[in-house]
Structure 1
Amino acid sequence: MSYVNLSLQVIPGVPEERIYPVVDKVIHMIQETGLKHEIGPMETTIEGELEELLEIVKKSQDICVEEGASRVVSIIKIDYKPEGVTMDEKIKKYR
């Protein structure tokens, strides 16, 4: 099993007062996956298999649309190495 890191920021096209509630639903879905993740002020980073993480991106966009977004901007960063990469190896020295 080769883990990658994917950072996701979703910007739903909803009225300003609805942005946080919609993003909260996306974060809740990510939490429900059981995958290792870290929520930051601008994005959430998730650790897992690439295919599974890309499915989470799709689900995130679907949630935004279901919540009334007329458009969704998703900003994605992927850190991939064939042998795998973990969040711990990158940030444990800072904790």
Structure 2
Amino acid sequence: MANALISIQIIPKTKNGENVIPYVDEAIKVIQDSGVNYEVHPLETTMEGELSQLFTIITKMNQRMIEIGSPNVISQVKILYQPEGITMDQLTEKYR
């Protein structure tokens, strides 16, 4: 079972003020390619997995933004670390 949930909002700076959505799509693709369970929400994406694994994904997301032309990136991150295990469903089941 996963021991962490991390929600991330990635805010890449664009060279000429162009739309950031294609950049955000690339960041989400990094998450998709990682194979972790995740949910995309309007203002952030939540991932479920091992804490160190999720930090690695965040690193790759930031690196990808630079690779595709962003001069810098802001990542706003919320972390729930629960060593005995946690899932997104456990936190939201009463609302579904």
TM-score normalised over the length of structure 1: 0.92
The sequence identity of aligned pairs, in percent, is 43
State yes or no: 1:59 paired with 2:53.
no
C-alpha separation in 1, matches of 2:61 and 2:26 = 9
Structure 1 runs (4+) deviating above 6 angstroms are: none
What is residue 25 of structure 1 aligned with on the other side?
Answer: 26
What is residue 4 of structure 1 aligned with on the other side?
Answer: 4
Instruction: Give the number of aligned pairs.
Output: 95
C-alpha separation in 2, matches of 1:41 and 1:5 = 17
Shift of 1:2: 4.5
What is residue 73 of structure 1 aligned with on the other side?
Answer: 74
In 1, are the aligned partners of 2:2 and 2:87 still within 8 Å (CA)? no
Shift of 1:77: 0.6
Residue identity matched to 1:21: P
What is residue 88 of structure 2 aligned with on the other side?
Answer: 87
Unpaired runs of 5+ residues, structure 1, are none
C-alpha separation in 1, matches of 2:2 and 2:36 = 14
Once the two structures are superposed, residues 21-76 of structure 1 have per-residue CA deviations (whole angstroms, 9 ceiling, x without a partner) of 01101101111212110001111000000010000110010011011111100011
C-alpha separation in 2, matches of 1:68 and 1:45 = 24
SS of structure 2 residue aligned to 1:17: coil
